[in-house]
A and B are shown apart, each in its own frame.
Chain A
Amino acid sequence: MISPTQVKEMIQGALPDAQVQVNDLTGGGDHYEVIVVSREFAGKGLVQQHQLVYAALQQAMATEAIHALSLKTLTP
């Protein structure tokens, strides 16, 4: 389990310019929908964009603190 604020901070730690919207889908703190807007995504394919976000959340994903994550990445 992890709080939406923690998810946001982890992503912004890796992508300082990112605007991050975090929705807890079930209220249980482990099924999240996250929308990330960052200049870092420019020129990158979808997989690479998502990998940047996954890298920021590596710890939470590995321990299944985040069990399910729906991800949308956008450039500004």
Chain B
Amino acid sequence: MTPELQTRLETLTQSHKIVVFMKGNKLMPQCGFSNNVVQILNSLGANYETVDVLEDWDIRQGIKEYSNWPTIPQVYINGQFVGGSDVLIQLYQEGQLAEMIQAAGVS
């Protein structure tokens, strides 16, 4: 990964308290897994930003290397990688996700 892309991804992941790298956007998720994450965050009333990886191949591949996580979507809270669809669902079901969002002060 080029240093420029690394910096770009660092900036993006810290551009908002919650950032979701996904296929599509909040209104038009283009993939079931990305939709899972959008529905969960919406149900918790979280304030989050999205990055549509379908619009930028470098971001789509780079983010996987950046987090050492091979799939999309990817959720970041305060610049930290939290997980993909499966992890989000499990954190949500266990009530931890609501706490994390409260702690980040974005609900």
**Chain A: residues with CB nearer than 8 A to chain B?**
46-47, 50-51, 54, 58, 61-62, 68-72
A51 touches B69 (CB 8 A): yes
B87 touches A46 (CB 8 A): yes
Instruction: Pull 16 A–B residue pairs with CB atoms less than 8 Å apart, ordered by A.
Output: A47-B82, A47-B83, A50-B69, A50-B83, A50-B84, A50-B86, A51-B69, A54-B69, A54-B70, A54-B71, A58-B70, A68-B33, A70-B85, A71-B86, A72-B86, A72-B90
Min C-beta distance of B22 to chain A, whole Å: 14
**Chain B: residues with CB nearer than 8 A to chain A?**
32-33, 68-71, 81-87, 90-91
Q: Which residues of B contact A51 (CB under 8 A)?
A: 68-69
